[in-house]
Structure 1
Amino acid sequence: MNIHRLTPSMSMLLAFDAAARHLSFTRAAHELSLTQSAVSRQIQALEQLLEVELFEREGRHIWLTEVGAMYAQDIAPALARISGASARVGAFRKGVSSLNLAVLPTFGERRLMPALAAFYRQHPGVMLHLHTRIGEYDITESGMDAAINVGVEPWPGLIAHPLEQERMVVVASPQALAQRPIHQPADVADHLLLQIAVRSEAWHQWFTARGLPLGYMRLGPHFEFSTHMIQAATAGIGIALVAHCLVEEELRDGRLVIPLYAGLDSRRSYYLLYPPEKEGFPPLATFRDWLLDHHSPAP
């Protein structure tokens, strides 16, 4: 293949990306501050360069072809990384460096955000951009510099710093316990069991570890975010099996209590993760050193 077909111009790519997201040359033109005909010409030039049709056209309506959809999915992260890199260069010129950090939503809200004011006081030259991510994902492909995630080592291809171990506990509101007390593990079966989607097996494991029949479980609703499950438990909708570090505030002020210390042994820990090539990235090094000072795992 001719090398020039592998390197279309940025103007072609931006026009295609905008049109692919909006499925409209007109809306893409508005986003890019161009005319509709200019966007159309850029995309036609790109199709000629690649020798494929990226859009089907019928009157004023367009939609992506199969190869067009594939191309749009592939170039979007690359364009995001280029945009982010350019923004960081601009910030660096002004004396500010930035870090794109993917973080679990509830951990970010409960553990990271309360401490960030202190971080900014100590390091005013670093701008931390937080992006919510759940489950498994490719840090580099997602345009992130680093991530805070939960799991079990090893993390192939990544440098991993343990922050704290996940300790799962049963929590309930005082109102729920006043109606149906929990004095022993079997009493849990009297309550609706709230679930988090990424740990849907947790209650099964808890019942198995206690030697209780799985048929006793009254499984309740699933929640995508731990925050919502915690709120449901606080409201007395049911009881939750959740990481202790995520409910410290509710336990301190009495909105939730731990009725029995029969939790769930977890091999998982929270980690700061990043690819080896980012190890010397100055804003990451600054944030890493600060974070490890504040979240050292228990010996």
Structure 2
Amino acid sequence: MFSINRELSFIKNRKIFYIISITLIIIGLSVGFIRGFNFGIDFTGGTMFQIDMGQEVPVADINKVLKANNITADVVHAGEQNQEVIIKTVQAMDTAAREKLLNNIYAEFDITEKAVLSVEQFGPSVGDMLKENAVKAVAIASIGMLIYIIVRFEWKFGVAAICSVVHDVLMLIAFYGLFHIPINNPFIAAVLTVVGYSINDTIVVFDRIRENLGLMKKNQTEELIDRSINQTLVRSIMTSLTTIVAIIPLFVLGGETIRQFTLPLIVGITAGTASSILIASPIYYQLVQATGGPKYKAKKSKSKV
């Protein structure tokens, strides 16, 4: 475990952190809205084929056939020894288009129509419902965390924590908008995971601030918060780094579906760690300054961070 001998000034440089975060979010969201977010079949609707190829066929070979038919789709392996492929198009294909694509696949890979295990059509209404439920899930989680933090700490901590969570979600969406990465169901699961992980990291910093409140003298809010962040800095960085190191092998070695879940986790955990240190605590500081100083002083906690 490494240590930091010199205390860093986070509150003093808070405006720099705000500007960097807001700039990144605006750029990512602007590119996403102008170019259009890359919503997958789970959100746009489309057609899904599951075909038994009889052997493991490279995804690149399947994509060649799809490209020849001007079809954009996600292709993943399935079944024992990856002998099956699942093709998810983002276009709703009619009967003629489906038959044309399947005939090309039969001819290219020397299989028959018996190899087709299933063909399913998804309407855009399903995608709209998923978007609505995803927003509701994040909102309910945020409200629940806000209530808990207000009861456990005070409202200033709660507001600062929710601002941090919103920052993480927006940063994740901006990242996907900027790099045009497909957004599917695993993305929603990853967002909810990141929300929980981020709030936990933020609570650790806030708990240390609360412990130090009993030692605070008048007009020492900035020094106290900086000291609290520095006291938990190594813990926050090392915990997140350890988690990311464990996820990276899944991202590299896992299939396409696993990557759709692990990529937003890596990005979200990174953003969550940064926001817990650089966003949440400075926002709490500004709320304290705006309301005339902290009014809550808890007994010293025996917990160790």
Question: TM class, shorter-chain normalised?
Answer: under 0.3
TM-score w.r.t. the length of structure 2 is 0.24
Higher helix share: 2
Higher strand share: 1
Higher relative contact order (CA 8 A, sep 6+): 2
